[in-house]
Amino acid sequence: MKKLIVAIFLLAGTFPAFAQEQAPKLYTLPSPFDRYTHYQVTARYTGAVPLGSFSSNYIDKSSFENYSIALEWVFQNAFSVGGELGYSFFNKRLPRAIYSTDQGDISAVQTRTLTQYPVQIFANYHFLGKNAAIQPYVQLSGGGSILDYTVYYGSLANQYQKIRPTYGIGVGSKFLFKKDGNFGADIRIKYEGTSLDYDYVDKGVSSLNTSIGLFYRWW
């Protein structure tokens, strides 16, 4: 009996010691973000510069009324896939001018607008690990854009609404606020193109978009 009590005491002493030795090993395990496929949601604010014939024929004014939200599945390898839902609004006001049409001549102040709700799926390839402070990536995306093309002649509107194919290619980087953390920033530069052939826009809508975003990731 006495021997048993001594043995218990000894064991009681060794167990905490054992636990203390294991603790650093547990800590050095890879982060859950490296070990598991995890989720990430990113909200972005975007400045967009019109390009090509969209810029020269319709609206050349940059837009700062663009927002998007993306949900992303980040795999254990270097890839991630997700969906992004956006809102984008371009507009430009022209001084009064006379426009000749088949219906005659119209003198009006013209307000040109283009509103889009792009819904896209995307794939990212990341160049560094999930817990690197800076995580550069390249992105390809494609989907459909709920598009509203409206030219106002004074208070009269010529409106065209359609869902058109859209695509994008971009480079960006995620910046973790703290190692292993859930929050971070995202900067992305992306070319986006949407097919459209109507009225002033005959070769599609294209723009170069620079966005800043915040993300939250979890597993």
Partner 1 sequence: MLRKASFLIISATIWLTSCTKDPINNLSDSESQVFSTNHDKSVDFKTFKTFSISDSVTVVQNDRSVKALTSLDKDLLTRIITNMQQLGYTYVAANKKPDVGLSAARVTNTYLNVGSTPYSSYWGGYYGGYGYGYPSYYTYETSESFWSVSMLDLKNADATKQLNVIWDAQIRGNGIGNSNYIDGMVDSLFGQSGYLKIN
| Binding residues for partner 1 (CB under 8 A) | 39, 41, 65, 67, 69, 71, 83, 85-87, 89, 91, 96, 98, 102-109, 111, 113, 115, 117, 150, 152-156
Nearer to partner 1, 67 or 167 (CB): 67
Q: In angstroms, give the least distance from the CB of 1 to partner 1.
A: 54
Least distance from partner 1 to the Cβ atom of residue 3, Å: 54
In terms of Cβ atoms closer than 10 Å to its own Cβ (0-12, 13-18, 19+), residue 40 is buried
* Cβ distance to partner 1 smaller for residue 21 or 102: 102
Nearer to partner 1, 127 or 218 (CB): 218
**CA geometry: angle at 132 spanning 126 and 133, to 5°?**
115
Q: Using CB atoms within 10 Å of the CB of residue 75, give its burial: 0 to 12 exposed, 13 to 18 middle, 19+ buried.
A: middle
Nearest to 159 by CA among 114, 193, 203, 116: 114
Q: Are 84 and 69 in contact (CB under 8 A)?
A: yes
Nearest-angstrom CA–CA distance, 186 and 188: 7
> Taking the complex as a whole, how short is the minimal distance between the CB of residue 62 and partner 1, in angstroms?
16
Q: Which two tokens stand for residue 38?
A: 């995890």
Q: Is 145 left (phi over 0), alpha (psi -120 to 50) or beta?
A: beta
Instruction: For residue 34, give both structure tokens.
Output: 């490296």
Nearest residue (CB) to partner 1, 67 versus 191: 67
**Toward partner 1, which CB reaches closer, 15 or 198?**
198
Closest approach of partner 1 to the CB of residue 15, in Å: 37
Query: How near is the Cβ of 202 to partner 1 at its closest, in Å?
Result: 22
**CB of 212 vs partner 1, minimal distance in Å:** 18
Shortest Å, Cβ 148 to partner 1: 9
Q: Which is nearer to partner 1, 72 or 135 (CB)?
A: 72
Residue 82 contacts residue 73 (beta carbons within 8 Å): yes
Residue 55 phi/psi, 5-degree rounding, is -75, -45
Nearer to partner 1, 4 or 156 (CB): 156
- Whole-number Å distance between alpha carbons of 189 and 173: 9
Q: How far apart are CA 89 and CA 38, in angstroms?
A: 32
